[in-house]
Each structure stands twice: as C-alpha cells, then as structure tokens.
Structure 1
Amino acid sequence: MDMIKDAEQGKIDLILTKSISRFARNTTDCLEMVRRLIDVGVFIQFEKENINTGSMESELMLSILSGLAESESVSISQNIKWSVQKRFINGTFIISYPPYGYINADGKMEVVPEEAEIVRTIFKECINGKGAFLIAKELNERGIPSKRGTVWHPSTVQGVLKNEKYTGDVIFQKTYTDSNFNRHINYGEENQYLLEKHHEAIISHEDFEKAQLIMEQRGKEKGVSKKEGKYQKRYAFSGKITCGECGSRFKRRIHYSGKNEYIAWCCTKHIEHTVKCSMKFIKDEDIKVAFVTMLNKLVFSCDMLLKPFMQGLRNIDEKAYLKKITEIEDSIEKNKNQRNVLMELMSKGLLNPGLFTKQNTELLSKFARLATEKKHIFFAVSGNASKIDESQRLIRFCSRNRMALKFNDNVFEDFIDEIVVNSREEIVFKLKCGLSLKERLVE
C-alpha cells in the first residue's frame, strides 16, 4: 500500500514483480490496483506471466491469470495450515514472537529474569485488588518499557494477565485465517491445541487462575462481555452520549463534593487531554431531568408535533423511489450486455485492444456508480419505513401515558438513539424516529 501511494505521488515509473500471486491475493484486488495505477500512468511488469499492463491486449488475460494465482494462493495457504496444525499436534511449533518476559533462543522460549519479575509484580498487584489501569500507570511512572518499548496501557496489562504462556503451558491456534485471508479470534470455529509444560513457567497455575477469577468478577461488575470485549448496557446512558465538540463518547464517573458524591458523564478525550477538548462533565441527574422534560413536551404536543411529523414521512413518494430503482436495474442490465458484446468482439479480433480497455473501463466505472446509487436508494426507502414505525410507537406511547414524574430506563432505551452534548447548558436528544430535540440542562 505504501508502494501504491508512492506511485500516485509520482515517485514510481514502473513496478516489477515476480508474479501475479506476489502482487495480490485475489482477482478483485489485482484488477482494482492495476486500474488505479494505470490511471496515474504507472504500469506493472509481471515477470512469470510476461504481462505488462502498459501494453497488454486486454484485461481478460489478466483476469484469468489472476484467478489462477488466487487458486494457487489458496492451495498454498491450505498446505501451510496443514503443516502448522501437524506441528501444533506434535508440539514442534516454534513461537517466533514470545510474550513479554521471554525470548526466542534457538527455537525455544527462555525466561528474561528482569522482565519475569515485572510479570510477577503484575499478577501480584492484580490478585491484591489493583485494576489494569492503575497497574499500567505505576509501571509507566517507574519508567519500565513494555514489550514494544513503549508505554503500558490497561489493555497491555490485561494481555499479560490473560496469557496462559506464563504458566509454562501454551494454547495453539487462538486465532485463525478465513478463506479471504482475514484473521479472526478463534471462538471454537477451529480446533485449539493445549501443550502443557512447553517451557519454563513464570507464574504458578494457582496465581494465574486467581487472576482470571478476579478479572472475570470485575468484568461482571462493569458489564463487560468476554467474547465481544465491549461494554454491555449496564446503564441507560452507556455508549449513547456523544461530545458535540470532538465527537468522543462520554464515560460514567463518580465525582465528590465535600462528603457528598454524585454521578457524572465526562468526555473521554477531555479526560485524557483537556487541551484537545474543552467539554466539561454533565451530571447524570441533570440529563434524566432533561429527558423527563422533553418527554412531557412530546406527550403534551403529540397531536401538534408527532402526528404531522409522521404524516410528512408518509408523504415521501416511495413509488418514485421504486421507479428509480427499476430504471437503475435496467441500466445495469444494459451495461452488462454492452460489456459482453465488447468481450465477444475482442475475442474475435474485431476490436482494437486499446479501444477495448478504454471502453470496458468506462463501462465498469458506470456499473459501479449505478450499483452505489441503487444501494443508497434502498437505504433511503428502508430507513424511511423504519422511522415511520418508530414514530407510530412513540405516538402510541404519548397518547396512552400521562406526564412523567421520574426517569425510566426502559422508556429512554425504547425511544432515544443518541444524546449530543452541545455544552454544559444544552443537550440534543436524537430520537429513533428521526427527530432531534434540544433541551436545556437545569441544575
């Protein structure tokens, strides 16, 4: 990708590559990159296939050869996977990049005494009740570099605490690569292999299990999903408050005023760098009062606001959208037929190669534009239908309920999509029906 950028900046005149399989892993990527480079006047010479994109007769041959190269890559990948799995099973797989605390010495993991002591400290502090954030902070204050020679982060500390290799055991195939060469965490899609006493241990199994139990308990308390690694909805406002200044999410915190404490929501960027975002905290209770006020206004003005709004959504002419989609589909079919005719003329030698490449590229570009336009219209139609449904739900709620006296988590979850904080005095409630309503924050 760096090479492609250099080519687009005029730093490269010609690219030489051994074969198509070394340039791209699949046909789509290969053709896309070739066209992208041709547009800026940079050509590629594929030595094995003896193809030069500056003088090639058509994209047809490149497509065929790219497909063969893709099949070859898949075959090689499968062979490598088979070989690696055999080494997993017999315990001969070499860990090329050992975790912090170990080095690779002639294919074997050996303990680094100074780093091992830090690992023991991390586990000890965790078992004694310290969180990953505090442990990382103390390591940074002591000037101890991480594995990559940079600062420690809470995620780095958690990575150490969750790594079974510190017990001397190793689990192979924690991740896997799919058929499209994308890597994923292995949640049971592929076999895993446990090899006990693979190398010298730094931490006992007992201490490792204690640390896992403590982290699991903390995760439950914070509503963390182990598989997804994301916060679940423990609080109604979690993940729903956005800073109007920098776009960051707000985080829940406990503030103290003398002997009293209160819940506040703070911009994560402001917490890290007050210079980069000046947005200060807002109180949890103030947001709840503002929501109750906004909801009561909707209940009061249901006939004057919500019903006309929903009627406006219904008046959007979906028939015109559907007619446009039909026209686009006809154009896509026509485009496909034109490309087939071009291909036939080219195969019979009735069309100049340069003219074929030019016209085929133009047709492909038009096809991409039509497909994108069709997708946008589909999204517009489905999105409008969804907003009508949400508006109907809100109207039913407001018609059947009296003025609210207190905040209700379930009602908030049902109707609010997001809160945008414009200032400490004003927030915007973005409703699922598409309405955006401003409300003042009053202490």
Structure 2
Amino acid sequence: MITNQSRPGGTSRVKVIPARVRTNRNAEHVDGQKKKIAAYARVSTMEEHQSGSYELQVEYYTDYIQKNPAWELYKVYTDEGITGTSTKNRAGFLEMIEDAKAGKIDYIITKSISRFARNTLDCLSTVRMLKNLPKPCGVYFEKENLDTLDSKSELFLTILSSMAQEESRSISENTKWGVQKRFSQGKPHIPTTYFLGYDTDEEGQIFIDEEQAEIVRRIFQELLDGKGTPTIAKGLTKDGLKTARGNKTWTSDAVYKILKNEKYMGHCLAQKSVTVDFLTHKRVRNKDHQPQYFIRNTHPAIIPEEDWYAVQEELDRRNKMLRDPDEKYRMCYSGTSPFSNRLFCGECGRPVTRRRMTSSKKGEKYYFTTWHCRAACRRDPEFQDCNSQYVWETALEIGFMKLLYDMQKNIGRVMADANKAIEECALTESEEARLKELEEQIDRVSDQITQLSEREMTTHDPLYEANLRHLIYEQEILQMEHEGLYKNKQESIYLKKNLDKLLEYLHLIEKPDDEFDSKAFVKTIERVTVYKNHIVEFIFKCGVKRKILAKRPK
C-alpha cells in the first residue's frame, strides 16, 4: 500500500524513478520473434585500399549481427565506389530504404553517419522517414553510439551529420585544390578510353593510333574543303567507320566536338568544366568560375597547329553567318554549292540564295539555276523590301573564270592591290617590338606561376593564394593586349598566304573560257556582292576586289 507522506511544512516527498533503456534494440520482439537486422556498408572510391575497407565492413557486420541471438541477419546492403554526398545514385542504399518501407527490416546498422550520408538534409530526412513508418525502422550508428529510435538522438544526429557534411566539403575543396595545383605544374589528366586517335601504353604514355588518326585527319580536311559537319557525319557513317565508342552511326555533334578539341594539335586546355556543388556534383562549363590552364606539347599531335587554327577560323566564320554585323538576318551554313553562303545582296545586304527556275523557248519548257536576294524573292520572313534582280549561275561561273584570266594578264596590278591591303593591317616596327616584349613578359609570368605551383604544400596558404591570383591577373592583362596585336599580325599573314594561293590558281588558267573551277572559287573568294543591273563584285581572301558584268549567257 502506497501512502502519500508529507514533510514538515507541507512539502511533498518526490521519488525519482530512473529510466530504463530507451530502446530495445538488442532484445527480441514481444512475441519472441527475432529482429530482422540489415547492415549498410559503403566506400566512396574503387581504389585498392578502399576496396579492402569495403570487404572488411561487409565481413564485420555479417559476424556482428549473427553473434546476437535476438537478431536475424536480413541482408547486407552495399555501395562500392559511390560518394555519400547524395543518395540518388546509390542503388544499395535505395534498395535498403524500399525494403524498410515494406516492413522487412527492424533495424539498420552502419559504421558511422558519414557512411550513411554526408548530406545533412538526406541523413535527417531519411532517418525521420524511417522512424515514422507504420512499422518503425531504427538506424544504429556504431561509431557515434546513436540509435535513431531514441528520442534524445535527434540533436546529436543533427550536429554530427552537419560535421560529416562539412568534412565532405573540406575533402572536395582539398581535392579541387590538388587538381588545380597539378594543372598549374603542367600535369594534365588526359584519359584515352574514348579518345579517337589516341591510346595509352602500359607505362601510361599517350601514343597515336594511326588507324583512328586517319579518321580524325579526314574530318579536319573535309571541313577545310567546304563540307558541313552533317555532310561529314553522313560520309563517315556510309563508309562504316567507327566512333571512339565503337558506334557506326556518326552525328554532326560528334564531328563538331572533334573539330573543337585542342588536344588533336598536341596541347591540352585543362579545367574546361567545374563542379559547382559538392553535394549534387553538378558540373557546368567553366565560364570564369575557375582558372583554366593551357598546357602545350603534352602528347603527340595528329593535326598540325596551323590546320587546327584554320579549322577554328572556318567554324567561326560559319557561326557568324547566323547574323550579319547589323543583326538583320540569320543564315545557316550550306556546302551544297561553291556559291553557298558567299553571295550577298548589294542593295539590302541580305544573303543571295539559290533558285531553280523554269521558262519556255519556242513552246519548250526548260530549267535554269539563278541566285537571287532572299528578300527580293520573298524568302525572308522579316524583310521583303528589295527589288534586286537575279543572276544566272552559269553567268557567275563564266564571269569568274574570265576574271581569273584577266587577272593573270595583269598580275602586277593584282600584286600591288594585295600588298596594299596587307600593309594596312601589318604591324609597325614599334608594334612588332611591343608584341615581342609582351610575349617575353607573358612567358616570364607563366614561369613564375609554374614555380609558385611547384612548391610542396598540402594545405591552403593565404599568401600563396594571393600571390597566385596576382600573377594570374597580371597574365590576363598582358594577354589581352597581346591578343589585339597578334590578331592584326595574323590578318596580314592570312592575306599573304591567300595571295600565294591565288597566284597558284592564276598560273593554271590557260584561256578565258576554261571550265569553272569550284575549288579555286572556294579557296580564293571571301565574299561576292550582287548589285543592280547584274554588276557583281568578287572580294578575294587576299584583299583584292574586282567587279564584273554577269549577264545571261547566250
């Protein structure tokens, strides 16, 4: 019989009843059935020392569960080589959660919070979801000695999971810093598993796979010959040639990526993409997020540097066709005809397009091909106020060959006009000296960056980071000035090179009515402007301009 006794002064006597163990993790169910226990093991990389840790985790928890007579091993769930910052791609983890939702598991045992999840939100939301199931499922973190079915574990779990997430962030930053340091030392990472034209030997050295390299050379040459990327892709597919992944179907995008890859000239642009979130591992193109590193002569070249840059200029030229300088119209590249994308209206500036027309002579119908302003023939949805006339394609072909013959007979004037254009964009003596000085300064700063990066440092040093940022900024300023002068110098070189090419074709002309040479047109002509009354101006790649009268042939 329990009686209430009071102390003198009316104060009640209080008896404290100690709490028992808050969870019955180690005991059987009330009905005597054994608890079904699952274990979860994970390592984040596939490296050899990590794989040993993975196997030990699996073996340890199998023995650990089987030693408890109140437990029954349900399954050991595993994820190998998977990061813990997200649960999205962890097949073993997701399977375990689904089984828990189905009531197949009473408890999950894992080594630590970091093995379960390094993302605080994922960890807490998963634990709370499991605890609130119709048949609650607990998680026991052995290292931290935390049982999630214990009402007092929530606060500790929040703190410790946040620490695990912060540790993951720190690891990510240190890894990123280490990678950037190697890049700055000129040590790129160039995998060749799906790299068309290259392979790696047993010592890790990159070498050229000549059979695949021929495909790469073909792609670059065909673009310089005037073909578009879809046409090149169709030709490769038709010939049964395989991509880097072994597919026999080529796409325009696959060809374009090969053409833009600087590694084919033996150099490497490192850190083209960056990870912007260490939890989601989202990667984006590196648009001034982090510095990039251009490392020269890292491996054998398949494409000469001169040809690679010529391809980039051609791709840039075709890209600019989408808009004229005044942004009046769009135009897609076409390699169907040598005149495609090179003819423009002298009245409104719009592209001149190819038309297949019909007419009749003495009651007989015939077809002929013309070139007509896109606006004048009502093919431009944004502008139609142009009344320019069309010109016959045969008139252009005949006029071009006759023009080459006339230029051959007056080659002295051609040389004078071309040299004048070259002199206008050539650098002066002072500009040449400044360009050389800038190149020396850039090399000197690059050497300083390399020397600074070669220091053996394992942690972030604020002074090191400040010096490195200052040198990179100085290099960027010098590079901007250098690019402006270098561009002018390259323009004069481009004109000289195309003058030599024009002279080669002029020497091949025998008579004014020679058959139209489409290759000569593509290789020498930059732009053609069609004016009223069939006046046509040819602008050559060497800077020379000539006008002809392109009348309908009789």
Q: What TM-score results when the alignment is normalised by the length of structure 2?
A: 0.38
Flag the structure with more relative contact order, 1 or 2, with Cα contacts below 8 A and sequence separation at least 6. 1
Q: What TM-score results when the alignment is normalised by the length of structure 1?
A: 0.47
